[in-house]
Amino acid sequence: MGKGSHNPSILSSSNDGVVVKSTEFINDNLADIPHRLPTLSEIKLKVPSHCFRPTVIRSMFYVFMDTVYVLLTYLTMFYIQKYFTYGYLLFPLYWYVQGTLYTSVFVLGHDCGHGSFSAYPWFNNII
């Protein structure tokens, strides 16, 4: 087992009760699998070109939604801590969720730095 091999001792039973080795079935199906992975340029040729063009509206929607999620998480924890005596016990969960949300904010900034946030470099620099 391992490195793409198969176990020749796998047995299967057919309807008539005869036990047959299934290596023939496995070998027939493996012949249909390509022997190499597609290259990055081959994948890019298959993806429609509009998927590679950033739009300002969609990009700003992501900024807006990330901001909303961060604020909602903050307000949720604020009110939990305010109204529940042991609300502070949920701080580790809050830290985890906020950390994940701030990672998405980092990704937006990272996209701006690479120019994939919008087609306008000045707009990427502002964001």
Q: Which domain holds residue 66?
A: 54-126
Judge whether 87 lies within some domain.
yes
Beta bridge pairs of residue 20: 12
Judge whether 33 lies within some domain.
no
Q: How many domains does the chain have?
A: 1
Q: Which helix (H) or strand (E) holds 104?
A: helix 91-114
Judge whether 49 lies within some domain.
no
From residue 56, alpha-carbon distances to 78, 87, 111, 119, 127 in Å are 33, 40, 12, 8, 11
Mean pLDDT of 58-71: 95
Mean pLDDT of 22-28: 59
Judge whether 10 lies within some domain.
no
Range in 12-26, 27-41, 55-69, 104-118 the model is least confident about: 12-26
Mean pLDDT of 5-34: 56
Is residue 72 classed exposed, middle or buried when 0-12, 13-18 and 19+ CB atoms within 10 A define those classes? exposed
Judge whether 119 lies within some domain.
yes
pLDDT exceeding 70 applies to what percent of the chain?
A: 73
Model confidence pTM above 0.85? no
Judge whether 12 lies within some domain.
no
Judge whether 40 lies within some domain.
no
Dig out the tokens for 17 from the structure. 């009760």
Amino acid at 5: S
